Amino acid sequence: MAAHPWVRRGYSAALLALSPLVWRRVWRERLPHRPRGERLGRVPASGPDARTLWLHCASVGEVQAARPLIEALARRHPDHRLVVTTMTATGAERVQALAETLRGRPAHGEVSHHFVPLDFPGAARRFVDRLRPQLAIFFETELWPNLLAACDARGVPVAVVNGRLSPRAFRGYRRLGRLMAEALSHVSWLGAKSEADAERFRALGMATDAIRITGSLKFDLADDDEAREASVRLRRRLGERPVWVAGSTHPGEDEAVLEAHVRLRKTRPEALLILVPRHPQRFDAVAELCLRRGLAMARRSAGEWPQAGTAVYLGDTMGELTDLYGAADLAFVGGSLVPVGGHNLLEPAALGVPVLTGPELANFTEVAEALREREALVEVADAEALAEALARLLDDGEARRRLGAAGRGVVEANRGALARTLAGLARLLPAE
């Protein structure tokens, strides 16, 4: 029995009172031909003999990080349907692209997508009643009290995988005290990324005996031969000019990246920046920003190709960041020059591409530390420092080789979270 079910009633009342604001926030997060009723749990009902696993990821970054787990579950349970839910439309598109890839592989279960219901009590109950999963898996910090309670009430075991709580997130959740303790009482098993994350979950009320330290799934990046081949083709077309990528950039950061590129081109006028904003709704705004800086630009979404005088190649497409990283001499990972907390440093590292980052890495503390220990990370404070680091590394091929090899070594040395996670999940599934 949950320790404080009454606090969830207060939470639900507050959420219902705020429902106009909630609806306005998610209204744009949709795909054509997908009913908005999914946000209220109105998904097709599973048949009585259906075998369903449910994995929830917040958005595109979490889907990408969960890809090794998604592929492993589809491979290990070919007689199950794996439903992946997301909050955002970009996450949905990434799931659909992955599902299409897996559809062509033999002996893999079906992967499909629904939007996660809003955490209203009725929507949560309806979703779980219709989906009827045998196991619910929540990725990282997606802790929705009513969804967790609906699973528990219907006998659906709940797991949290790649569990992480940054100090900032922990402070926010701790203010919700009893509500979070009640929510976590419905979790059967939690695979924490680190001992520090495990300790924060314990402080919120998670039972100690239900927590295991699994490490980060981000290190278990799936080998993608198609992406590697795409990178090779792209680099061949770009030629011998210096190329660097700035991936997953945010407002305020694009300006710094472009300033660094302008500085770099004073001594390397042939240098090309591949700029990939984090959110697609900002693609046009970033294109305007490039033009205002007087930088000749080609847009990937328009089928344009960088010419000799092109300064910026705008990566305004979805699902191609890995391909673009693999075609570069250097990779700057965004969300790190602004207070966002950083993004996945391991994507370029796994490809052997030297990694640069800003100082804001709260979401990737353990990953950053692992890279630092092997001297596989270049950290810069601002646009000027970024330009200087780019120029120095582009002039030193041996330094780039060392950085790239060290980063790839970190990824290889830290693999194993996937196997530990799958072992934990297997104990929650009914015997075949």
Query: Rounded distance, CA 52 to CA 204, Å?
Result: 30
Query: Is residue 217 pLDDT above 70, yes or no?
Result: yes
Query: Is residue 245 pLDDT above 90, yes or no?
Result: yes
Question: What value does the mean pLDDT take over residues 295-319?
Answer: 95
pLDDT at 432: 57
The pLDDT confidence band at residue 424, using thresholds 50, 70 and 90, is very high
Show me where the domains of the chain are located: 28-220+416-426, 225-413
Rg (CA), the chain: 22
> What are the pLDDT digits (tens) for 379-410?
999 999 999 999 999 999 999 999 999 999 99
- CA 154, 155, 161, 164: dihedral to nearest 10 degrees? 70
pLDDT at 244: 98
pTM given for the model: 0.80
Query: Is residue 59 pLDDT above 80, yes or no?
Result: yes
- Give the three-state DSSP class for 331: strand
Least confident of 3-7, 192-196, 245-249: 3-7
pLDDT at 431: 63
Question: What value does the mean pLDDT take over residues 61-77?
Answer: 92
Residue whose structure tokens are 């083709």: 233
Side by side, the strands of the sheet bearing 110-115 are 110-115, 81-86, 52-56, 135-139, 158-163, 189-192, 211-213
The alpha carbon of 80 is separated from its chain's Cα centroid by a whole number of angstroms, namely 24
pLDDT at 166: 86
Q: Would you say the CATH fold of 225-413 matches that of 28-220+416-426?
A: yes
Among the options 38, 62, 142, 182, which is catalytic?
A: 62
Query: Is residue 420 pLDDT above 80, yes or no?
Result: yes
> What are the pLDDT digits (tens) for 92-147?
999 998 998 888 777 788 999 999 999 999 999 999 999 999 999 999 988 999 99
**Hey, which residues does 314 pair with through a beta bridge?**
275, 299
CATH of the domain spanning 28-220+416-426, picked from 3.90.550.10, 3.30.2010.10, 3.30.70.260, 3.40.50.11720: 3.40.50.11720
Is 62 marked active-site?
Answer: yes
Q: Which residue type occupies 395?
A: D
Classify domain 225-413 by CATH number.
3.40.50.2000
Residues in Cβ contact with 145 at an 8 Å cutoff, skipping those fewer than 6 apart:
8, 11, 119, 179, 182, 183
Query: Is residue 66 pLDDT above 60, yes or no?
Result: yes
pLDDT at 149: 96
pLDDT at 1: 40
Mean pLDDT score across all residues of the chain: 93
67: its two tokens: 């890809």
